[in-house]
Amino acid sequence: MSPQTSPVIEIKGLKKSFGNNHVLDGFNLELFEGENLVVMGKSGSGKSVMIKCIVGLVEADAGKINVLGQDMSNLDEEELDYLRTEVGFLFQGSALYDSMTVRQNLEFPLRRHVRKFGVIHDATPLVMDALESVGLAETIDMMPDELSGGMKRRIALARTLILQPKVILYDEPTTGLDPITAKEIISLIQTIQVKYKTSSIIITHDIDCARIIADRMILLIDGVNYVEGTFDALSKSTDPNVCAFFK
Amino acid sequence: MFKAILNNTRSFFIETGQFSYFAGRFFRNAFSRPFEFREFIRQCYAIGNRSLLLVAVTGFIIGLVFTLQSRPTLQEFGAVSWMPSMVSISIIREIGPIITALICAGRVGSGIGAELGSMRVSEQIDSMEVSGTNPFRYLVVTRIWAATIMLPILVLFGDAIAIYGSFLVEYFKGHVSMQLYYNQVFNSLKFSDLIPATIKTFFFGFAIGLVGCYKGYNCRKGTVGVGIAANTAVVFTSMLLFLIDFIAVFITNIFYYN
């Protein structure tokens, strides 16, 4: 982590409402290179909405989002697609394409990124490398419905890695998994961060996950970053709103 | 009461606007590179193959029933010899296209709606989007093109089967030979019967693909939404098919029969 350098992702005054529900109300965030930033908050507090705003899946009502030095609001479709190859996104439900094999799932994102990868005639080495990174090379010809929940999460991570992103956004990576598989996923996230030198924003409710993985944490309450700090600092806080997360 | 009417009217116009925007987005993407040719071929096969048996069985039964039902009346007027002409013109001009299109609206339109709907609620479409691979081009454009191309083929196939079904009734009940029957069929049919009927089937196919994709791609509200998407795709397409049919017949009458 190098807070002295300019942030890879910077969010200023992010606002998003759904009808009368003001989910984000001036949220700010900075993610620095090589950093694991954990964002915690109650269900429905807007954590997932916030990371979806970063990749342009949800349009913000107000505020500035700067990703890898580029203002998201000024990008055309082609530039946005290119930027999306630099920002991986791991969905909560894995979101594997269920009509495709694992190999096709991993090859799919490569198809349109000639600008980044050139023309790829045989994607097998790239696919195998990504699968080996998550320890599931043997599943290459399997269909998603033949995989367990934990395996699906790993394959989804491999699919994210294949585009060689600089930043990875994890939307509740351990939700719905048993404690052992959850720990495996956490360990995998750490390994990947070291191997691929990525920066990460991790949305989670899992306090163990946060303790192991967080370089820094943000608590998102009432649409704003209520408090920021290291896990140790926040866990010793006497603020009842903060304490509620660490009980 | 008045508020409810106002809300419904507003919803109708919003939905119409969104649907028009969706159609416009299709045309913007449909004629520009990169083309998803492999997925288009896969969809053509899926749509054609998925509906072939159903179209064949329905066409055959319609041919049989239509002939059986018409026979007594024609016999009464001593006009049984007109049977091949009457059946073939009715089937080619109207019954074949509309029945096949309605079957495909149920089979293909709901299938597309449910498939894209479940992809939407399981975040697969979002996942494609965040990987920078235009899901609209891959999922929507290919399916609409495939439905537009395949429906005329299915209609022609269904027409042929229906006429064959009609021939079988005439063969067994009226002892009419195949050569005589088909001679009468081809003598009575004109290009002005076949061409407009075939042209309108492209529009039928386009409507089936467009509505199915629109409903599925914009599906919300979880698994319940998938059911709603599939269901409304069929209902909305069926209404649209009759509207297109009316317009097509109206235009055909102006150009060919006036």
Work out the pLDDT band at A82, boundaries 50, 70, 90. Answer: confident
Bridge-partner residues for B111, per DSSP?
A: none
pTM for the whole structure: 0.88
The percent of residues above 70 in pLDDT, for chain A, comes to 96
Bridge-partner residues for A94, per DSSP?
A: none
Buried-exposed string B215-240: b where 16+ CB fall within 10 A, e elsewhere = bbbbbeeeeebbbbbbebbbebbbeb
| Nearest by CB: B133 against A91, A95, A108 | A108
Work out the pLDDT band at B136, boundaries 50, 70, 90. Answer: very high
The percent of residues above 90 in pLDDT, for chain A, comes to 36
Write down the pLDDT at residue A4. Answer: 55
Chain A hits for B132, Cβ within 8 Å: 80-85, 109, 112-113, 163
Write out pLDDT tens, residues A132-191: 888 888 999 999 999 998 899 999 999 998 888 999 999 998 888 888 888 888 988 888
| Nearest by CB: A95 against B126, B132, B133 | B126
Chain A hits for B128, Cβ within 8 Å: 97, 108
What is the biggest distance separating any 2 CA atoms in chain A, rounded to whole angstroms? Answer: 58
Alpha carbon distance B211, A194 (integer Å): 47
Write down the pLDDT at residue B155. Answer: 96
Work out the pLDDT band at A73, boundaries 50, 70, 90. Answer: confident
Q: Tell me whether 0.90 is exceeded by the ipTM.
A: no
Domain annotation for chain A: domains and CATH numbers: 9-75+166-246 (3.40.50.300)
Contacts A–B by Cβ distance under 8 A: 53
Chain A interface mutation, best of B112, B128, B130, B226, highest count of A Cβ atoms under 10 Å: B130
* Cβ atoms within 10 Å of B255's Cβ, excluding its own: 9
State how far residue A43 is from chain B, nearest Cα, in angstroms.
17
Alpha carbon distance A172, A89 (integer Å): 11
Mean pLDDT of A103-114: 83
Which residue intervals of chain A are DSSP H helices? 47-54, 77-86, 102-107, 114-117, 124-133, 149-161, 179-196, 207-213, 231-235, 240-246
A112 to B34: CB separation less than 8 angstroms, yes or no = yes
Residue A107, SS3 per DSSP? helix
A95 to B127: CB separation less than 8 angstroms, yes or no = yes
* Cβ atoms within 10 Å of B37's Cβ, excluding its own: 9
| Nearest by CB: A91 against B34, B123, B134 | B123
Chain B hits for A81, Cβ within 8 Å: 132-134
Write down the pLDDT at residue B257. Answer: 66
In sequence order, the 6+-apart residues with CB closer than 8 A to the CB of A43 are A205
Q: What is the mean pLDDT of chain B?
A: 92
Write down the pLDDT at residue A72. Answer: 87
Question: Which residues of A fall below an 8 Å CB-CB distance to B?
Answer: 52, 55, 57, 80-85, 87, 89, 91-93, 95-98, 108-109, 111-113, 159, 163
